[in-house]
Structure 1
Amino acid sequence: MPSNRSLDALVAAARMYYEEGRSQRDVARALGLSESAVSRTLAAARDAGVVRIVIHDPRLLVDRVPRLEARLEETFGLSGAWVGTGASDLGPTEIVARLGAQLFSDRLWSMRRVGLSWGSTISRLVEVIEAQPPSPDLELLPLVGGSSELDTAPSGTTSLYTLAQKLGVRARRIDAPAITESPETCAAILRESTVRSALDLAATADTAWAGIGSVGVPGGSSERLLAAMRLSADEVAQVRAENPAGDFCGRFFDDEGKPLVGPTSTRVIGIDFDALRAVPTVVGLAGGTGKARGVLAALRTGVIDIAVLDAELADEVLRRHAATSRATARVR
């Protein structure tokens, strides 16, 4: 981190050049520097994060919000944050899907094994990703089982195969449902060698993409997930006592980001939090302020490396985090 005096010089040069539109010669005269020194100062300003350059392609209809991205990265220790805003006729899920498609395109060259979850956000993400020339080194892996009630498509694996067709690559599968109605059924399925092999393979993904669910959102993935589990009255009481905030890849967590170990953890055929933490890059996507509770808790799990959110949701998540931090500080 540069000293305060150095930062003052970087900020002054950056404001003159980028905000006021002065030439490097004018900046040099104003600051008493040589033109070559101004060039180095502007480069240092970018390296120090004083200047963040955003490329806007008007065809994509979504603008990024660097101010919120920087705050999310700093607050939650993320390696990246993509926060978008768009025209008034674009809903938050559409903004997030288009922003996620940009991120996917940017990283396509570096990805070899891509893990994909289910849900409406992932489904829309896949729809807006543009077809690409075949990538023979790329492989698509499901992070959870298929035939899920949680997917808006007829099958939980549909998004995976749709993306595979667009990219001209191979898609693996998990020959099992994503959700079972009893722990016994789940345990029996997990004993199948083909299912275990598929989940072991999912854990080798270099990049995982999944939507973030939030408890309490009517018709949302977390609520549909709980309904699909067919919990007994005693199990419902146990889950309520654990106070779930949201889910990620079907795995629930509380407001502090701690994974739940009760009934909800024994009915999901899919990758777990330990395996997710071993994936080099985990991308979590969510849109709409109604998901703020689940997203805040998900960011506290430490599982997510890159968050893709709409601007209003990002702002609400940061506001809630600040409020809980102040409340905790007062208690102490």
Structure 2
Amino acid sequence: MPRSAQSSSPPGVDGSPSDADAGHFPASLLYAAAKLYYTEDATQAEVATQLGTSRATVSRLLAEAKRRGIVRIEVVQPAELTSGDLGDRVARALSLTTVFLSHPLPQPGPGRGIVDVMGAALAPAVGQALSGAGLLPGDVLLVSSGRTVYEVAQYDLVPLPGVLVAPTVGGNDQPEEWYQTNEITRRVANRVNGRPNYLFAPALPGPDLYPSLLKDPSIQRVLHLWPHARCALMGVGAPPLMRSDIPQFVPTRSNSLRAAVGDVCSRFYDRDGNEVDFEGSDRLIAVELEALRHVPVTIAVAVGQDKVSSIIAGARGGYFNQLVTDPATAAAILDSVEG
């Protein structure tokens, strides 16, 4: 007799319905089988014993439970794969060679801000970026001033023995240690086992002092390293007129800076990445933006919603070709570019 005609099977659980008849299983039976198997970690044989049926029927019960939505299985992408995909998308959106993502920044405790927790989170990703730069003894690594690079320099990076570490901008007259570029140079050199080279000059000397500084042999020695740099590590400044923390030499009342959305190495640029000058900037002792475009590996490190437009514009200007940031900032960059 054909199986479809066998309608007089015993009324037990294993009433021998075919796969085509599986939809006739009562929901209570599907739930019982699924709960035993998925929640209580019973084997299919154990489920069959408890329900008084066969393992084949248990298999059909579980399949039907999935089909009806009684069982919902979620496959969660590992964090490292999610971050990698996000980093790749940001790199494509900004035309960068690589984007290195840190772990998500921890929540700052009471009385603390993002600047107090970003260094530890960003340092491993910065170390990874520096490791990929292929620096050898005698190569020149330039470092900028700024709070982000300063905080990163409090933590271990990557051994780069014999690398020459030099500042990108003067600043020995600044009161905050994160704008004291010689201090940052020393810290970074210690973290990579490199050789520090100090620039004993203010970022913006007066008209009388400027020409004499350029003739000083100790200053010339550092300035002559800039064209030979193999790598640069730099922070990205937020729009200057929106910042509460900015080097003292920056004339925040300057009308020209209204167009600036960010800076690298104390050189400001607008939304399209074009340089923005200010009164006295012709005396600025800092790496030129055009020179940064010729450094083989330029690594920007920045986090925060206030840095999103600054990062995007800096990438448009071609002032860095790699970026270190956190997943939240990376997602905000994509929202801004793709939105």
Unaligned runs of 5+ in 1: 1-53, 57-62, 324-332
What amino acid does structure 2 have at the position aligned with 1:317? I
Q: Deviations over 1:92-123 (max 9, x none)?
A: 73333342133234546557221111111111
Residue 206 of structure 1 corresponds to 230
What amino acid does structure 1 have at the position aligned with 2:86? L
Residue 90 of structure 2 corresponds to 72
Residue 151 of structure 2 corresponds to 124
| 1:115 aligns with one of 112, 117, 142 | 142
| 1:100 aligns with one of 105, 110, 126 | 126
Unaligned runs of 5+ in 2: 1-77, 109-113
**1:252, distance to aligned residue in structure 2 (A):** 0.2
| 2:300 aligns with one of 279, 284, 290 | 284
**1:254, distance to aligned residue in structure 2 (A):** 0.2
Residue 186 of structure 2 corresponds to 161
Give the aligned CA root-mean-square deviation in angstroms: 3.1
**1:131, distance to aligned residue in structure 2 (A):** 7.2
**1:124, distance to aligned residue in structure 2 (A):** 1.6
Judging changes above 3 Å, is the alpha-carbon distance between structure 1 residues 189 and 315 closer, same or farther for their aligned structure 2 residues? same
Query: What SS class does the counterpart of residue 328 from structure 2 fall into?
Result: helix
Counterpart mapping for 1:120-199 below 5 A? 120-130=147-157, 132=159, 135-136=161-162, 138-149=163-174, 151-153=176-178, 155-180=180-205, 182=206, 185-186=209-210, 189-190=213-214, 192=216, 194-199=218-223
Higher alpha-carbon deviation: 190-199 or 110-119:
190-199
Judging changes above 3 Å, is the alpha-carbon distance between structure 1 residues 66 and 295 closer, same or farther for their aligned structure 2 residues? same
Query: What SS class does the counterpart of residue 278 from structure 1 fall into?
Result: coil
Using structure 2 for the length normalisation, give the TM-score.
Answer: 0.65
What amino acid does structure 1 have at the position aligned with 2:255? A
Counterpart mapping for 1:294-305 below 5 A? 294-305=310-321
Judging changes above 3 Å, is the alpha-carbon distance between structure 1 residues 238 and 130 closer, same or farther for their aligned structure 2 residues? closer
Between structure 1 and structure 2, the one with the greater Rg is: 2
Counterpart mapping for 1:234-249 below 5 A? 236-240=254-258, 243-249=259-265
Partners of 1:55 and 1:283 lie apart in 2 by: 23
| 2:99 aligns with one of 70, 76, 81 | 81
Partners of 1:179 and 1:299 lie apart in 2 by: 25
Contact 1:211 1:285 survives alignment (8 Å): yes
**1:74, distance to aligned residue in structure 2 (A):** 1.2
Query: What SS class does the counterpart of residue 81 from structure 1 fall into?
Result: strand
Judging changes above 3 Å, is the alpha-carbon distance between structure 1 residues 260 and 155 closer, same or farther for their aligned structure 2 residues? closer
Contact 2:127 2:158 survives alignment (8 Å): no
Residue 250 of structure 2 corresponds to 229
Judging changes above 3 Å, is the alpha-carbon distance between structure 1 residues 295 and 154 closer, same or farther for their aligned structure 2 residues? closer
**1:244, distance to aligned residue in structure 2 (A):** 0.5
Counterpart mapping for 1:24-103 below 5 A? 65-86=83-104, 88-89=106-107, 91=114, 93-94=118-119, 95-103=121-129
**1:298, distance to aligned residue in structure 2 (A):** 0.9
**1:199, distance to aligned residue in structure 2 (A):** 1.6
Partners of 2:176 and 2:316 lie apart in 1 by: 25
Query: What SS class does the counterpart of residue 206 from structure 1 fall into?
Result: strand
Contact 1:97 1:122 survives alignment (8 Å): no
Using structure 1 for the length normalisation, give the TM-score.
Answer: 0.66
Contact 1:252 1:265 survives alignment (8 Å): no
Partners of 1:81 and 1:187 lie apart in 2 by: 40
Query: What SS class does the counterpart of residue 128 from structure 1 fall into?
Result: coil
Partners of 1:183 and 1:292 lie apart in 2 by: 35
**1:70, distance to aligned residue in structure 2 (A):** 1.0
Contact 2:124 2:157 survives alignment (8 Å): no
Aligned residues between the structures = 253
Q: Deviations over 1:9-50 (max 9, x none)?
A: xxxxxxxxxxxxxxxxxxxxxxxxxxxxxxxxxxxxxxxxxx
**1:286, distance to aligned residue in structure 2 (A):** 0.3
Judging changes above 3 Å, is the alpha-carbon distance between structure 1 residues 314 and 176 closer, same or farther for their aligned structure 2 residues? same
Percent of residue pairs bearing the same amino acid type: 21
Partners of 2:106 and 2:93 lie apart in 1 by: 28
Query: What SS class does the counterpart of residue 324 from structure 2 fall into?
Result: strand
**1:293, distance to aligned residue in structure 2 (A):** 1.7
Partners of 2:105 and 2:301 lie apart in 1 by: 19
Partners of 1:308 and 1:250 lie apart in 2 by: 19
What amino acid does structure 2 have at the position aligned with 1:76? L
Q: Deviations over 1:56-94 (max 9, x none)?
A: 6xxxxxx97112211122122211111233263364733
Greater share of helix residues, 1 or 2?
Answer: 1
